[in-house]
């Protein structure tokens, strides 16, 4: 649960959630909601409230399995224990991590390209302004 910073009265809820911890960074936590969407910012421990830790849920992590040669209607949810080879799950998580890293790099590249474009436009505008003022100075003599 996440502490709500501003409440109109003491009767309003003090916390919002529940949310699931996805990642622990140095001193903050990344959370996701029940729709598996990441929250817009990271939270420090003082903003969080532990509700419950249910070990059975952790052990019963489920995966959506798409069966080869069958359509989408044949997809099923399987627990980790039902897989014959744990390497399948390790490969899945490695693929997820690779995808997330690729997306972060792509986003950084996109941000860098946008910043470069802004700098170039600013530099071009500055150059245009400088050349205009030089023309004015030379024509006034």
pLDDT at 53 over 70: no
Identify whether 64 is part of a domain. Answer: no
Identify whether 65 is part of a domain. Answer: no
> For residue range 104-141, what is the model confidence (pLDDT) as tens digits?
888 888 877 777 777 777 777 777 666 665 556 555 55
Identify whether 12 is part of a domain. Answer: yes
The rounded distance, in Å, linking the Cα atoms of 117 and 122 is 9
pLDDT of residue 120: 77
The rounded distance, in Å, linking the Cα atoms of 112 and 137 is 37
The first and second tokens of residue 70, run together, are: 């069958």
Identify whether 77 is part of a domain. Answer: no
Identify whether 31 is part of a domain. Answer: yes
pLDDT of residue 28: 92
pLDDT at 87 over 70: yes
Q: Where are the beta strands (DSSP E) in 66-116?
A: 76-79
Identify whether 68 is part of a domain. Answer: no
Identify whether 63 is part of a domain. Answer: no
Identify whether 35 is part of a domain. Answer: yes
The SS3 assignment for 141 reads: coil
Domain total of the chain: 1
pLDDT of residue 16: 82
Task: With cut-offs at 50, 70 and 90, classify the pLDDT of residue 60.
Answer: low
The rounded distance, in Å, linking the Cα atoms of 104 and 112 is 12
Q: Which domain holds residue 45?
A: 1-51
More confident residue, 130 or 70: 70
pLDDT at 56 over 50: no
Q: Where are the beta strands (DSSP E) in the chain?
A: 2-3, 15-16, 20-24, 29-32, 62-65, 76-79
More confident residue, 17 or 28: 28
Q: What is the CATH number of the domain that holds 16?
A: 2.30.30
The rounded distance, in Å, linking the Cα atoms of 34 and 18 is 8
Inter-residue contact 31 to 38 (CB < 8 Å): yes
Percentage of the chain lying above the pLDDT 90 cut: 12
């Amino acid at each position: 649960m996440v502490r709500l910073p501003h409440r109109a009265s003491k009767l309003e809820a003090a916390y919002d959630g529940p949310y699931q911890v996805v990642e622990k960074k140095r001193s903050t936590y990344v959370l996701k909601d029940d729709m598996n969407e990441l929250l817009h910012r990271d939270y420090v421990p003082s903003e969080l409230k532990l509700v419950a830790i249910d070990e059975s849920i952790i052990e019963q992590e489920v995966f959506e399995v798409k069966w080869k040669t069958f359509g989408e209607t044949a997809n099923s949810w399987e627990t980790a224990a039902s897989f014959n080879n744990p390497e399948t799950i390790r490969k899945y998580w490695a693929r997820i991590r690779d995808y997330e890293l690729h997306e972060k790099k792509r986003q950084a590249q996109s941000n860098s390209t946008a910043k470069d474009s802004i700098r170039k436009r600013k530099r071009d505008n500055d150059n245009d302004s400088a050349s205009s003022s030089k023309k004015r100075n030379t024509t006034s003599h």
